[in-house]
Structure 1
Amino acid sequence: MKTKYIDLIDQTYYFPQEEFTLDKNQLLFHGIDLMKLVKQYGTPLKFSYLPQISNNIQKAKKWFAEAMQKHNYNAEYHYCYCTKSSHFSYVLEEALKNDIHIETSSAFDINIVEALKKEGKLTDKSYVLCNGFKRDKYIKNITRLINEGHKNCFPIIDNYEELNLLQEGINTAFNIGIRIASEEEPKFAFYTSRLGIGYKNIVPFYNREVKDNPQVTLKMLHFFINTGIRDTAYYWNELQKCMKVYTSLKKICPSLDSLNIGGGFPVKNSLAFEYDHAYMIDEIVNQIQMTCKEADVPVPHIFTEFGSFTVGESAGAIYQILYQKQQNDREKWNMIDSSFITTLPDTWAINKRFVMLPVNRWNDEYERVLLGGLTCDSDDYYNSEQHMHAIYLPKYRKDKPLYIGFFNTGAYQESIGGFGGIHHCLIPQPKHILIQKDHEGNLVTELFSPQQDAQDMLITLGYNSEE
């Protein structure tokens, strides 16, 4: 009878997989010995495997290059990183090694851009696409960047007032984009995105505000939907509607030469995850080309703004199972040495799924469990609502510590949960490890931030006691 955890995985999924392999009864992630990390740094810990950021960028570039070559697509592709997914310097520095560009969404993003330019990691030739609802500080920062010579900074117009606000501060000619307010999937509680300008209003807005404006040149149309790039009738219908606006606009606006299809590539959230990135890109390129050919207009340069896809699959979190509580005849609670609300807030806020696997003891018998965090909040848990299926882990044994990992957690978790500062029930923020490769390809680890201690929290809370 097959009762070991490895047997369960073998009969349920294709395993091993590209990033997940085994060394005896211990899990490796991209060849990283996770138990070695645990022994060196302890738990709870978070880690970022920086080479995976470059890997995903290069994959996307390859897929677009192959699709454009196949369809004789006579324009360029530009990869932008959506900074709101993770603003950390180590993420930007790794991503920018790959000749990419930046998409911003708030005022302080521009300060980050300026810091990167001072360090020589961004230049005036780098595209900076400024999305989001713009007021006061964001407008001032954009105008400063353009006035200082960054010609490839494109404010993406989100509403009717932004253009006038920008013109008041910018003392030179500048380029803009316009964001389409796409219609949302029927399951949403509202019909149209709050971001951008409606399909029917874009051409009139161009004729009224941009066409005869000597200071402003329209270069880009921006298209994005909340559900992301998926092979659904809804996505293809919205893309076609976008292309109709693009071709109509192109016929009266010769300067328009770029289409930004936004982001939305999904991140692997289960060993059963299936998504054909190459097919989706091939079909997007094909659809854009066919629509332009029918309308007799040149094809646009294609921009993407991949955030989660860029950084999501580079990171993970490791916890120890501290104790098991048998609450009734069916439910066993494995208690982790941290909090889901604190360290993986998307599991708590939107029931987001991550790949969850034990780090050790794969040859032990397994059991069905629930996972609980340390806070006193009843919502601090991870179970089959978030997970793809019921959660099975090697059986809890007090004399054999069990460690579990959550993988592909690199996007948004620090931004939503907050890095540093105060967390729910004063659960400390775990230590964070950076994993890089040296020139010889050897893995090198570095402590990015230690685990938060009591004194840090007391100072933040105003208890400036001296010990």
Structure 2
Amino acid sequence: MNTRYFDLINQTFYFPQEEFTLNKDNLQFHNIDLMKLVEQYGTPLKFTYLPQISSNIRKAKEWFRNAMEKNKYDGKYYYCYCTKSSHFEYIMNEAFKNNIHIETSAAFDINIVEKLLESGKINKNTYVICNGFKRDQYITNIARLMNNGHKQTIPIIDNYEELDLLQEQINGKFKIGIRIAAEEEPKFEFYTSRLGIGYKNILPFYRKQIHENKNVELKMLHFFINTGIRDTSYYWNELSKCLKVYVNLKKECPTLDSLNIGGGFPIKNSLHFEYDYQYMIDEITNQIKKTCEEADVPVPNIFTEFGSFTVGESAGAIYQVLYQKQQNDREKWNMIDSSFITTLPDTWAINKRFIMLAINRWNDQYERVLLGGMTCDSDDYYNSEQNLNAIYLPKYNRDKPLYIGFFNTGAYQETIGGYGGLHHCLIPQPKHILIDRDENGFLATEIFSEQQKAEDVLSILGYNTTTVQEEK
């Protein structure tokens, strides 16, 4: 009878896969020996594998190049990175090796853009697409960027007042886009996105505030679907409505020449994950071209905003199972040396599932378990793998430490988890390392941040750490 953990994974999934292989009974991620990382840096440990960022960008560019050639599409493609997925400098440094553009969401993003310009990571030809609801500081920062000469900045109008606010601070003529307030999926509690301007209101808005405005040039229509780019009737229906708005607007606005299809590609969240990226891009490109030809208008340049797709698959987290608690006849709790609430907040907040695998002991027998975090919160747990409705791991053995990994965690987890700040029950933030490859393909690792110390936390809380230590 096949009772090893390896047998379970091999029979349940296609294994090995491109990024997941075995070295004896230890897991490798992109040929990185994860147990060696554990031995060198300990746990809990977060890591970012930088080459995966460039790899995904190159793949997307190739897919769009293929689709445009196949469909004889007479327009250009621009890949934008959504900073909100991860604002870290090491992410930006890797992403902008690939001649891409940037999408911002809030005021401080513009400060990052200015730093990138100063360092030469981006230049005057880099598009800066400014999305989001714009408060005063965001407006001021956008205006400063444009007044300092960055002409490829395009604020995306989210509501009727933003255009007037921008004009008050921007010198001379400038470009804008308009965001469509798409209808949400039927399962949502509301019908229409809170962001953007409704389909039926865009043309009247253009006629009233933009058409005869000599200081403003409408360049882009922005279409964002919250659930991402997926092969569903909902997505194709919303895209169709968007394209109708585009061609009607284009007939009255000659300067309109770009369509931003935001929303993003899904990333791998299971070893069963299947998604035909090339098919989706082919079909989107074909739909845009077909609609424009029928309306007798030129096809737009296509912009995409990929955040999770850019960075999500580059990162992971490794924990040690510290102890097993048998709470009743059926439930065994494996307690990890960190917290899901603080280090992988999406698992708790939106019930998101990541790829979860044992790091070692693949040749040992397996058992069904629940995973618990260290906080005293009853919600600090992870109790099902995406396709198994349960978690199976090598059997707990006090004398043989077990390590587990969560993969493709690179988007949003650090910012939502409050990187560098306070965490629930004051569980310390884990050590974080960066992994790269040199020109010969050899691995190079460096510590980005050490595990949070008591002094760091007490300082945030306002305690005088020196006095506390003296009293002890």
- Please indicate, yes or no, whether the TM-score normalized by the shorter chain is above 0.5: yes
**Letter of the aligned partner of 1:394 in structure 2?**
P
Partner SS state of residue 374, structure 1: coil
CA distance in 2, matches of 1:316, 1:215: 47
CA distance in 2, matches of 1:388, 1:256: 48
Q: Give matches, 1:210-359, under 5 Å.
A: 210-359=210-359
Q: Give matches, 1:56-455, under 5 Å.
A: 56-384=56-384, 389-455=389-455
Moved over 3 A (4+): 385-388
Partner SS state of residue 399, structure 2: coil
**Letter of the aligned partner of 2:4 in structure 1?**
K
**Letter of the aligned partner of 1:284 in structure 2?**
I
Between Structure 1 and Structure 2, how many residues are aligned? 467
Partner SS state of residue 224, structure 2: coil
- Per-residue CA deviation, residues 331-351 of structure 1 (Å, 9 max, x unaligned), is 000000000001000001010
Contact 1:48 1:315 in 2 (8 A): yes
**Letter of the aligned partner of 1:238 in structure 2?**
E
- Per-residue CA deviation, residues 217-274 of structure 1 (Å, 9 max, x unaligned), is 0000000111110000000000000000000000010100000001321111110111
Residue 462 of structure 2 corresponds to: 462
Contact 1:354 1:387 in 2 (8 A): no
Query: 1:388 Cα shift?
Result: 5.0
Partner SS state of residue 261, structure 1: strand
Residue 20 of structure 1 corresponds to: 20
6 and 197 in structure 1: CA distance in 2 versus 1, 3 angstrom threshold: same
CA distance in 1, matches of 2:183, 2:57: 29
Contact 1:314 1:410 in 2 (8 A): yes
Contact 1:347 1:386 in 2 (8 A): no
**Letter of the aligned partner of 2:171 in structure 1?**
N
**Letter of the aligned partner of 2:168 in structure 1?**
E
Structure 1: gaps (5+ residues)? none
CA distance in 2, matches of 1:363, 1:257: 58
CA distance in 2, matches of 1:265, 1:322: 36
- Per-residue CA deviation, residues 89-112 of structure 1 (Å, 9 max, x unaligned), is 000110000000000000000000
Query: 1:465 Cα shift?
Result: 2.3
| Percentage of matched positions with identical amino acids | 76
Contact 1:353 1:388 in 2 (8 A): no
Query: 1:464 Cα shift?
Result: 1.4
Structure 2: gaps (5+ residues)? none
**Letter of the aligned partner of 1:83 in structure 2?**
T
- Per-residue CA deviation, residues 52-108 of structure 1 (Å, 9 max, x unaligned), is 000000000000000000000001000000000000000011000000000000000
**Letter of the aligned partner of 1:119 in structure 2?**
S
TM-score, with length taken from structure 1: 0.99
Contact 1:351 1:385 in 2 (8 A): no
CA distance in 1, matches of 2:387, 2:454: 33
Query: 1:387 Cα shift?
Result: 6.6
- RMSD value, Cα: 0.8
CA distance in 2, matches of 1:98, 1:49: 16
CA distance in 2, matches of 1:333, 1:411: 28
Contact 1:21 1:28 in 2 (8 A): yes
Partner SS state of residue 218, structure 2: strand
Query: 1:385 Cα shift?
Result: 7.6
Partner SS state of residue 144, structure 2: helix
TM-score, with length taken from structure 2: 0.98
CA distance in 2, matches of 1:462, 1:328: 42
Query: 1:463 Cα shift?
Result: 1.1
CA distance in 2, matches of 1:465, 1:281: 56
CA distance in 2, matches of 1:213, 1:458: 55
CA distance in 1, matches of 2:386, 2:107: 33
Partner SS state of residue 379, structure 1: coil
**Letter of the aligned partner of 1:199 in structure 2?**
Y
Partner SS state of residue 121, structure 1: coil
CA distance in 1, matches of 2:246, 2:442: 48
CA distance in 2, matches of 1:376, 1:273: 33
CA distance in 2, matches of 1:460, 1:102: 32
Query: 1:122 Cα shift?
Result: 1.1
Partner SS state of residue 223, structure 1: strand
CA distance in 1, matches of 2:92, 2:182: 29
CA distance in 2, matches of 1:97, 1:236: 33
Query: 1:421 Cα shift?
Result: 1.3
CA distance in 1, matches of 2:414, 2:131: 21
CA distance in 1, matches of 2:458, 2:184: 45
CA distance in 2, matches of 1:166, 1:367: 60
